[in-house]
Structure 1
Amino acid sequence: MKSDPGFYDYWPYENRPKIRWPGGKKMAFWVAPNIEFYELNPPSNPSRKAWPQPYPATQGYSIRDYGNRVGHQRQMDLLDKYGIRGSISLSTALCDHHPEIIQMCKERDWEFFSHGIYNTRYTYGMSEQQERDMIKDSMETIYRHTGQKCAGYLAPALSHSELTLDLFAEVGTELFGNEGGIYTCDLFHDDQPTPIHTRSNKPFVSIPYSLEMNDTIAFVVNKIEPRRYGEMLKKNFDRLYAEGDESGTIMCIPTHNYQVSCPHRMKAFEEALDYITSHDDVWVTTGKEIADYYLAHYYEQAKIDITQKNAIALNNAVALDSAAAQKKGAK
């Protein structure tokens, strides 16, 4: 039985190689709008129900439809105001259901990364081939509709499998070479990029995507008021910004156009964006740009540092075991 998922090595935050973002910036900031499509009556999955309500789940479906009809435009206008290009966690069925949204995002040079096909169809219970096919379909759809070579992945409804990262890296290479399938948002273990193990040994990184700052977690799970959510965003920024004096950090705000874009929640969100973007030494960017920069400038250095520290830790552990054995034998 595994003691941990095995996706990454233990690598303490302290004494890592120092990071500086382009232009000497000390923090990278990105916003990840989840632009999703939910089916009213999706195929059932034995591991998870798509809707908590009995069929028809009119309330859940219609508020998400509100997001794509109304909320998206509202959020897009706000991000435009502060010069923020969204990194879209995209349910790729949206390309067929709402091509007008795709077009608006393309016009603004937003990034598109894969969030599966529908957010009501989960990875749970899929065979390896079925998951591979789903990932490939979503990446091909993004390329066909946007011309972008999909770099990032967030599993649909966070329904991650043990093979998700391997498959995404492999399909990305198959379709787009080294430009495709280079980062994941499905791991929540760090405030800096970290190298991730894949069975293909392709250079692959985790880019911080915060569940704590996610508007759905804040409003629906933790029942936080909009004003308090805005305060949380600022305090989260303040801590990471201060730590950026030592080494570059990352802040992500994951949003949903049917959550933060409701009229009574927008003011607090706008105040947080105004506060964050008012700092000159913050790199306002996208997930792919962060991944590309890290892979080009820090990935190999990080791998070497991890290997060296693990070797030191192993040697120390062996020495301690040997000392303990000698002490026991002396008795």
Structure 2
Amino acid sequence: MAADAKPMQSDLGLYDYLPWNERPKIVWPGNKKIAVWIAPNIEFYEYDPPNNPTRTPWARPNPDVLQYSHRDYGNRVGWQRMMAAMDRAGFRGSVSLNVALCDHHPEIIRACADRGWEFFSHGIYNTRYVYNMTIEQEREIIRDAFDTVRKHTGQELAGWLSPALSNNFWTMDILSEAGIQYTCDMFHDDQPMPVKVKSGRLISMPYSLEMNDVIVYNTQKVTPRHYGEIIKRQFDQLYKEGAESGTVMCIPLHPYLVGQPHRIDAFAEAIEYIAGHDGVWQTTGREIAEAYHASGAYDAFNAAMAAHKAEGGSR
């Protein structure tokens, strides 16, 4: 077996299972019931990216003018509508950033930074995956992301979403090793929780496929009005459950989809609905991660998990 290979096992081995009723209570700042964060994916898709034998970026043969130009709409027009809607509702964004955008469209980066938005890494380009990379090649991507975001925004990266959700067996270990605080690559819960890594402390941050406008519009083919209702129903349930223990709701966006003229009003109305409730923490991924650690929730979860296993619970 190669040194970097991982033996066969029945699950990912990245996180534990602890039933909801055995978890320590999570308390958000100000005793808020729910932490709501919006994650705009501000991306750059290369017209003719390097070939990756595991995955082809474009479904159609080059030149795929249709797909490239559709995504380019977000960086030309859609992001401004999305940002205006978020401004009105009082939401800052946590930008899931293809860091090469700092060079391609610095105007967008400045507009986000001026509003106090967070930047976390979504790889260099969304057309370059980590499949088939060595550990050192992937480490270099992480270093590049840290350096580029620091240079253009003055921020230190706290979060990570792998480009196109591509991962290797060692990805979580080297993210934690580099100082990343949270990953969005897992979709298994509505609360943050520890990720099993070799060193450091990494947590999984509730992101969402169900709320993601790519899934909603491109896969489920729903109407804008229905998307607005999905957002509100998701919020209503997590808001109710958050009265017992703090929950997290994420709305992942892509400006080329949500920023279309016929879709923006439904999104705007939904987030204004959320903002109109008491007990809502309108926040960022970084702030959620910091609060989770500051409250002792990380250590409390691990202690509860140890007790659960000692009593014969899931392993």
Residue in structure 2 matched with residue 8 of structure 1 by the alignment: 15
**Equivalent residues in 2 for 1:207-218, closer than 5 Å:** 207-218=205-216
CA distance in 1, matches of 2:173, 2:148: 20
* Structure 2: distance between partners of 1:75 and 1:266: 7
- The Cα shift of 1:14 comes to 2.1
**One-letter amino acid matched to 1:281:** G
1:50 is matched with 57
Q: Could you tell me which of 114, 125, 129 is aligned with 1:107? A: 114
Q: What letter corresponds to residue 61 of structure 1 in structure 2?
A: Y
User: Who is 1:197 aligned against?
Assistant: 196
Answer with 1 or 2: which has the greater Rg.
1
> Given that residues 203 and 295 in structure 1 are in contact (C-alpha distance below 8 angstroms), is that contact kept between their aligned partners in structure 2?
no
Name the SS of the counterpart of 1:109 in structure 2: coil
Q: Give the Cα–Cα distance (whole angstroms) in 1 for the partners of residues 68 and 237 of structure 2.
A: 37
Separation in 1 of the partners of 2:19 and 2:220? 29
- Which position in structure 2 is the counterpart of 1:60? 67
Give runs of aligned pairs for residues 251-330 of structure 1, distance below 5 A: 251-297=249-295, 298-313=297-312
**1:185-211 Cα shifts (integer Å, max 9, x gaps):** 0010100011111111x1221110011
Output aligned runs, 1:8-157, within 5 Å.
8-157=15-164
Deviation (angstroms), 1:295: 1.0
1:217 & 1:163 partners in 2: Cα distance? 27
Aligned residue for 2:312, secondary structure, equals helix
Kindly indicate whether the alpha-carbon contact (under 8 Å) linking 2:22 and 2:304 is maintained by their aligned counterparts in 1. Answer: no
8 Å contact kept, 2:41–2:95: yes
Distance 2:125 2:43 in 1: 7
**Alpha carbons 2:159, 2:286 under 8 Å: kept:** yes
Equivalent AA in structure 2 for residue 293 of structure 1: A
How far does residue 31 in structure 1 lie from its aligned partner after superposition?
Answer: 0.1
Match of 2:5 in 1: none
Superposed CA offset, 1:249-304 (max 9, x none): 01000000101110111111111111111001000000000000001111111111
The whole-number CA distance in structure 1 between the counterparts of 2:24 and 2:67 is: 46
Unmatched 5+ residue regions in structure 1? 173-180, 318-331
The aligned amino acid for 2:234 is N
Q: Which has the higher contact order (CA 8 A, sep 6+)?
A: 2
The answer to whether the 8 Å contact 2:160/2:182 transfers is yes
Q: Find the aligned partners of 1:236 and 1:14 in 2 and give their Cα distance.
A: 21
Counterparts of 1:233 and 1:77, CA distance in 2: 18
Structure whose residues are more often helix by fraction: 1
> What whole-Å deviation, never above 9, does each CA across 1:147-176 have from its counterpart, x for those lacking one?
11100000001112211111111122xxxx
Q: Distance in 2 between matches of 1:307 and 1:128?
A: 31
Q: Measure how far apart 1:230 and its partner are.
A: 0.8
TM-score, structure 1 length as denominator? 0.91
Q: Deviations over 1:203-246 (max 9, x none)?
A: 22111001110000110011111111111111111110111111
The answer as to whether partners of 2:135 and 2:170 remain within 8 angstroms in 1 is yes
In the comparison of the two structures, how many residue pairs are matched? 307
CA distance in 1, matches of 2:218, 2:167: 21
Q: Give the 3-state SS of the residue equivalent to 2:211 in structure 1.
A: coil
Gaps (5+ residues) in structure 2? 1-7
Letter in 1 for 2:266: A
